[in-house]
């Protein structure tokens, strides 16, 4: 069953009061010291959600966090981690991984992507910087290139038997000014406008 993901009371600054959305009922959770809600394992469900164009209030913590918690090995398959903003999206996803994991645990995250034909060296440099920045927090990030030409699907698979199928990969946000440190959209994902996308959570 498909549902529209509506984490905020409103999703479009242009809607009127009559169009405001009710906050959804959230699954049972405990509050973690890092501020990320810990959804109880038995509350996770296989489901399909739809996010509409220009919707606000979406974050990787909400979309992925509950399904990543407890995983020790996560594999991301996305052929489009080539440009700077795509590498930044990946870094923000890994920040979510760090927030939901236990401080005493080590999590292995493997990325399978496609090497950029023209800017492969710069792409490798970004991925190496991400790798190095995570060494001290217990997230062991690695990457590999699949240049077979057959890599199109985008998904996340965990060793806790969840597969998250992403029609847009991690590229869910409309463009915003990444150079403006004082813009809320630069600091908070929930203040960004989203592209329309769908996510399917599959229990393996």
Residue 33 has pLDDT above 70, yes or no: no
- Flag whether pLDDT at 28 surpasses 90: no
Structurally, what CATH architecture does the domain formed by 2-203 represent?
A: 2-Layer Sandwich (3.30)
Tell me, what's the pLDDT at 71?
A: 98
**pLDDT digits over 93-149, tens only?**
999 999 999 999 999 999 999 999 998 999 999 999 999 999 999 999 999 999 887
State how beta strands 107-113 and 73-77 pair. Answer: parallel
What are the structural domain ranges in the chain? Answer: 2-203
Residue 44: per-residue pLDDT: 94
Tell me the mean pLDDT in the region 40-53. Answer: 88
Q: Which residues pair with 129 in a beta bridge?
A: none
Which residue, chain included where needed, has tokens 């810990």?
38
Determine the average pLDDT of the residues in 144-169.
92
Q: Give per-residue pLDDT as tens, 56-69.
A: 999 999 999 999 99
Nearest to 50 by CA among 202, 204, 201, 199: 199
Per-residue model confidence (pLDDT) at position 94: 98
The CB density around residue 184, as the number of other CB atoms within 10 Å, is: 11
* Residue 129 pLDDT: 97
Query: Any alpha helices (H) in 77-166, and if so which ranges?
Result: 84-100, 120-133
Contact 33, 180 (CB under 8 A): no
């Amino acid at each position: 069953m498909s549902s529209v993901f509506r984490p905020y009371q409103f999703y479009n600054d242009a809607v009127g009061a009559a169009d405001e959305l009710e906050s959804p009922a959230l699954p049972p959770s405990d509050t973690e010291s890092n501020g990320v809600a810990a959804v109880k394992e038995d509350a996770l469900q296989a489901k399909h959600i739809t996010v509409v164009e220009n919707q606000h209030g979406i974050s990787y913590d909400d979309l992925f966090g509950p399904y990543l918690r407890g995983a020790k090995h996560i594999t991301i398959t996305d052929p489009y981690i080539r440009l700077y903003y795509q590498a930044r999206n990946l870094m923000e996803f890994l920040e979510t991984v760090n927030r939901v994991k236990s401080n005493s645990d080590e999590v292995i995250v493997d990325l399978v992507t496609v090497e950029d034909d023209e800017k492969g060296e710069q792409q490798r440099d970004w991925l190496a910087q991400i790798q190095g920045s995570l060494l001290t927090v217990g997230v062991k990030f690695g990457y590999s290139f699949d240049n077979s030409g057959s890599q199109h699907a985008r998904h996340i698979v965990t060793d806790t038997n969840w597969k998250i199928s992403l029609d847009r990969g991690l590229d869910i946000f409309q463009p915003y000014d990444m150079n403006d440190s004082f813009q809320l959209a630069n600091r908070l994902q929930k203040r960004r406008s989203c592209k329309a996308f769908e996510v399917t959570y599959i229990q393996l």
